[in-house]
Structure 1
Amino acid sequence: MYAVFVCVGVFAFANGYVNIALYKQAYQHNSEAGDTFNASNAVDGRKSNLSVDGGQCAVSYWGKKTATWWVNLYSIHSIHHIAIYFMTNNQPLGPSNLLTKYILGFSVYVSNTTDRLQGTLCYKDDNFTLFTMPAVFTTTCPVHGQYVIYYNERRQGVTNPDDYSKYVFTGLCEVEVYGCPATGYFGSNCSVPCPDVNCQYCHIETGTCQGCKPGYQGHRCELGKAAYVQL
């Protein structure tokens, strides 16, 4: 089960984490032409105008069966939570907002490549409806990765709920990825070194090692490769 938090204005998380997606390279499949709809709009820090023509949202072509957007964090980072500001045309989401049905069913992944299937599924929407879909969605995902990927689909032959649209597009006005700017640290302020000296990536909340430095293996990265083979 995934922890999901719907937030308006204030996050229920410690504020020591940094938005490591800000101004990073972004991409979207089937991108609309022109800077008005560019993928980078979703990581430029602007979220005051959530309309399709406001120039602050990443928008892909309409009439497609899949929608993919990702941000490249440039290196593997320890992530705590991800916040998404959806395009709403500056109106509340709900049954009267035609954009709502295009968001339903979305997924969020963290991966070390641009292939979402090689990464970790942080969240898959199978609960929201036209009445409950939030304009700002936040989910915890305490994993490590270089790419945060947004994905949605309407596959032929798959029966979706009646609330869902026939097609999908991105419509992302801001994607914020909060975590530690440097590897090897954890804690709410990213100031505590990983307890195991040879650990390269540790759980951002508990410090439990999740990945060893090159040349080391074992539960606490206490074994060099040669020693590991001899056991």
Structure 2
Amino acid sequence: MSSTFSNFTSSNKAVDGQKTDLSYSGGQCAISKHGYKTVEWRVDLENLSSISNITIYFRTENSPWGCFRGQYGENCTEKCRENCVNDTCDINSGTCFECDVGYREPHCDLECDSGMYGPGCSLTCGVCINNTQCHHINGSCLQGCGPGFYGRKCDEGCPFGKYGINCQYNCSAACKSLYNCSRTTGECVDGCQPGWKEFHCDQKCDNRTFGPGCGHKCGECINITQCNNINGICEFGCAPGFLGVTCNEKCPFGKYGNSCADNCSRTCSTPRRKDWKLYRWMSDGLERRAM
């Protein structure tokens, strides 16, 4: 040992195996020279040995060594931080050996943040609304969940067919895959069924369009009304001069009007095209033929 208080406390006392009396007067402790804060101590084992651990007993005058629980510093006058586990900390620096749940090192005086909570701030918060911080200890979202999630910790996604804040909205039945929408926005995953449009597929085709993606034009519906948004049928009938359920067929030759129910006048000028078919009309009992 680099310094010795007296022969009574020489370095051999450190390795004599005696430790029942840890006082100065016990004669079992090696003590350095008075006033030395650092001392070098060497042990010659005289051979090669495999050592798994070394236990050093300090002179304590047979009193409990170090500060009592919850204390640190010179003369043990400082108190450990209140969030140190078991109220224990380093007796010199006051650093907690471990923080209570929900607090972080080094002094355990700061709550978990940045989306973390729990032991050692090691757990990730759920989807709290507006990315707010969850409770630093139990992870609950104090202000509620963001869209698409529910539960105390907001870590459960909305069930199929539901979306939005608190999963309160139903996905549209007009989604191409029935009720299959984004749990956060409600947007239909595969688009809309024929006849529907917009983000949530909750708007019928309009502006005289119908079908998949509202990509087809309506026929000649009466009074320029909107046809059926899905199949294009003119539900109130056709405009004069047109036939068919979608009102895309023109009246046949010699017919006109609503439902093509009226015959063209016999006084119409003779058709100019030479390949028109023969037609007949009766007047005063005489049959006339025009080519």
TM-score, with structure 1 as normaliser = 0.30
The structure with the greater share of residues assigned to strand is 1
Q: Name which structure has the greater RCO, CA cutoff 8 Å, separation 6+.
A: 1
TM-score, with structure 2 as normaliser = 0.24
Q: Larger Rg: 1 or 2?
A: 2
